[in-house]
Amino acid sequence: MVFHAVNSFDTHCHLDLYPDPRAVVREAERTQTYVVAVTNTPSVFQATQQLIGNSRFVRPALGLHPELAVERRGELPLFQQLLPQTRYVGEVGLDFVSNDKQVRITQQRVFSQILEWSHLAGDKILTIHSRRAEKEVVEAIGANFRGAAILHWYSGSLAVVEQALANGLYFSINPAMTRSKRFPDLLRLIPIDRLLTETDGPFVQIGQRVALPPDVAQVSVILASTWQITPEEMTKVLFANLRRLLVTPS
């Protein structure tokens, strides 16, 4: 990435789920917003590559969403085949909203396999779903993962944050998170050098419309206010964090 050409970055955006994905790509280009376009299945990754084309600012991430792990676990061989084509992996992880034991076991097996392949590759950047499974996700990643891991839209126990930080994980913040009553408590626990920005568009709303990648600028302003620094200083910090992520040694 050429950092001087980028104004902001969105580390978790579901490009393919917008009504007009190509318009979102054009907006990212116009505003010079670097976007990690996560996918929910390996087959969608291939379609997303075509949507992105030769964009300078949008990169596809290879995913297998935990809520689809049971239905799409047969795509794991395709996942392995496609993994060398990207540094970004997501959306992956665990979702323990369901109490079904077999569903949870399948999710854990799929996530474990993805972690193993990513660890062996050594240069992958993962954006991870952890709803009601934060402890299990952090433990699965461990402290010796060869690559980098981002906890996307973290909504879990504050007690797990300390272990996540000890394991080297980052946290990506979206506009919806900043409106949560728990957000100030979460932010107090996360060092400024572990913060990144995301939208999780189109699932997040900005007023009456869906969030677009350039809306991460709003998050940056809120973070700056929290840390009592200027938005420009906060942007520099966020880019330093992203740069560190991209050069994570294998």
The whole domain housing 173 covers: 3-246
Instruction: Say how many domains are in the chain.
Output: 1
Residues contacting 48, CB < 8 A, separation 6+: 15, 16, 21, 37, 39, 60
Q: Which CATH number belongs to the domain containing residue 152 in this structure?
A: 3.20.20.140
**Which residues pair with residue 88 across a beta bridge?**
125
**CA torsion through residues 191, 193, 194, 195, sign:** positive
- Note down pLDDT in tens along the chain; length 250 residues: 555 689 999 999 999 999 999 999 999 999 999 999 999 999 999 999 999 999 999 999 999 999 999 999 999 999 999 999 999 999 999 999 999 999 999 999 999 999 999 999 999 999 999 999 999 999 999 999 999 999 999 999 999 999 999 999 999 999 999 999 999 999 999 999 999 999 999 999 999 999 999 999 999 999 999 999 999 999 999 999 999 999 865 4
* 129 is known to lie in a ligand binding site: yes
* 91 is known to lie in a ligand binding site: yes
* 152 is known to lie in a ligand binding site: yes
